[in-house]
Amino acid sequence: MHVVIWLLIGSAVGGIAHFVGRGPRYPLVGALSVGMLGSVLSGWIFWRLGILTPDREPPSAVVAVGGALVAIGAVRLLLRASEHLSTNTALHSSSPTTLEAHVARLGTLERRILSKFLQRQPIACDCSVEFDRQLSFSDRIADRVAAFGGSWSFIGLSSSLLIAWMVYNSKTPGSFDPYPFLLLNLALNCIGALQAPVIMMSQNRLAARDRFHARNDYEVNLKSEMEIMALHSKLDELRDQEWKRALELHDRQLAALDRIERLLGNRVSKE
Over the stretch 185-207, which tens digit does the pLDDT of each residue have? 888 888 888 888 888 888 888 88
Q: Where are the alpha helices (DSSP H) in 28-151?
A: 28-48, 57-93, 99-105, 108-118, 127-133, 137-149
Q: Is residue 235 part of a domain?
A: no
State the residue range of the domain holding 128.
107-222
**Calpha distance 63→49 (Å, rounded):** 13
**Calpha distance 266→133 (Å, rounded):** 86
Alpha carbon 239 to chain centroid, angstroms = 42
Q: How far apart are the first and last CA of the chain?
A: 127
For residue 39, what pLDDT is reported?
78
Q: Is residue 196 part of a domain?
A: yes
Among 43, 69, 93, the domain boundary falls at 93
* Whether residues 113 and 217 fall in one domain: yes
**Calpha distance 205→20 (Å, rounded):** 20
Q: Is residue 101 part of a domain?
A: no
Among 55, 71, 93, the domain boundary falls at 93
Structural domain count, the chain: 2
Of the candidates 24, 22, 19, 21, which has an alpha carbon nearest to the alpha carbon of residue 86? 24
Alpha carbon 202 to chain centroid, angstroms = 18
Indicate if the pLDDT at residue 94 is higher than 50: no
Confidence of residue 95 (pLDDT cuts 50, 70, 90): very low
* Whether residues 50 and 155 fall in one domain: no
* Whether residues 111 and 217 fall in one domain: yes
For residue 58, what pLDDT is reported?
63
* Whether residues 134 and 45 fall in one domain: no
Indicate if the pLDDT at residue 153 is higher than 80: yes
Q: Is residue 60 part of a domain?
A: yes
Mean residue pLDDT across the chain: 77
Q: Is residue 181 part of a domain?
A: yes
DSSP 8-state class, residue 21: -
* Whether residues 89 and 133 fall in one domain: no
Mean pLDDT value across residues 132-159: 82
Q: Is residue 236 part of a domain?
A: no
* Whether residues 124 and 87 fall in one domain: no
Indicate if the pLDDT at residue 92 is higher than 70: no
Mean pLDDT value across residues 118-133: 74
Q: Is residue 61 part of a domain?
A: yes
* Whether residues 188 and 136 fall in one domain: yes
**Calpha distance 101→92 (Å, rounded):** 10
Among 67, 93, 119, the domain boundary falls at 93
* Whether residues 122 and 80 fall in one domain: no
Q: Is residue 231 part of a domain?
A: no
Peptide bond into 96 cis (omega under 30): no
* Whether residues 128 and 85 fall in one domain: no
